[in-house]
């Protein structure tokens, strides 16, 4: 099992970096090209949720993302340490205020995109684990 771990400061600008890293590793792991957009979006949603939670509760703590090649599956775990029971992302209205009716949209998007999703309590905050099929030898990347 090959693992890449990344920690980044809870800044919105770094979410894009996390997306790019996840997409690159997914491609290398053998995730099919037509699924890479889904990986990119789902990882971005999970990281956005974690960054927003950290900015609210613990802005100095980094967000952690693990990317694993797990025997034919590409697995991503995004972990935050924000002490909050609220696992839903804050979606902002045009005036910058949270939109309660849009809460959960990010998780809904993840659920619609990832092949397999679990939202679990982490050591301090939340873990979102999601996975997609990948060729066991990364063959899809070079096919």
Partner 1 sequence: MDLKLDHHSEDNLTIVDVEGEIDVYTAPRLRELLIDLVNKGNFHLLVNMEKVDFLDSTGLGVLVGGLKRVRAHDGSLELVCTQERILKIFRITGLTKVFGIYSSVDEAKEMHGRDK
Using the minimum distance from each CB to partner 1, give the nearer residue, 70 or 103: 103
Q: By CB under 8 A, name the one of 53, 74, 81, 89 that touches partner 1.
A: 89
Piece of 58-66, 78-86, 90-98, 116-124 that binds partner 1 (CB under 8 A): 90-98
> Residue 71 contacts by C-beta under 8 Å, 6 or more apart in sequence?
1, 136
CA dist 139 and 127 (Å) reads: 29
CA dist 116 and 100 (Å) reads: 26
> Residue 60 contacts by C-beta under 8 Å, 6 or more apart in sequence?
none
Residue 108 in contact with partner 1, rule: CB under 8 A: yes
10 near 51, Cβ under 8 Å? yes
Smallest gap from residue 141 Cβ to partner 1 (A): 19
* Burial degree of 58 (CB within 10 A; 0-12, 13-18, 19+): middle
Q: By CB under 8 A, name the one of 4, 21, 58, 109 that touches partner 1.
A: 109
Smallest gap from residue 50 Cβ to partner 1 (A): 10
Smallest gap from residue 43 Cβ to partner 1 (A): 10
Q: Residues interacting with partner 1, by CB under 8 A?
A: 12-13, 15-16, 19, 37, 40-41, 44-45, 48, 51-52, 89, 91-96, 99, 102, 105-106, 108-109, 112-113
């Amino acid at each position: 099992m090959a693992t890449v771990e990344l920690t980044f400061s809870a800044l919105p600008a770094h979410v894009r970096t996390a997306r790019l890293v996840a997409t690159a590793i997914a491609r290398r792991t053998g995730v099919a090209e037509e699924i890479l957009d889904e990986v990119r979006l789902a990882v971005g949603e999970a990281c956005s949720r974690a960054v927003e939670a950290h900015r609210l509760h613990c802005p100095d703590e980094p967000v952690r993302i693990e990317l694993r090649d797990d025997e034919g599956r590409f697995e991503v775990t995004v972990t935050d340490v924000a002490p909050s029971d609220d696992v839903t992302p804050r979606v902002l209205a045009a005036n910058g205020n949270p939109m309660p009716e849009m809460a959960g949209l990010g998780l809904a998007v993840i659920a619609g995109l990832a092949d397999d999703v679990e939202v679990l309590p982490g050591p301090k905050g939340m873990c979102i684990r999601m996975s997609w099929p990948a060729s066991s030898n990364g063959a899809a990347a070079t096919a």
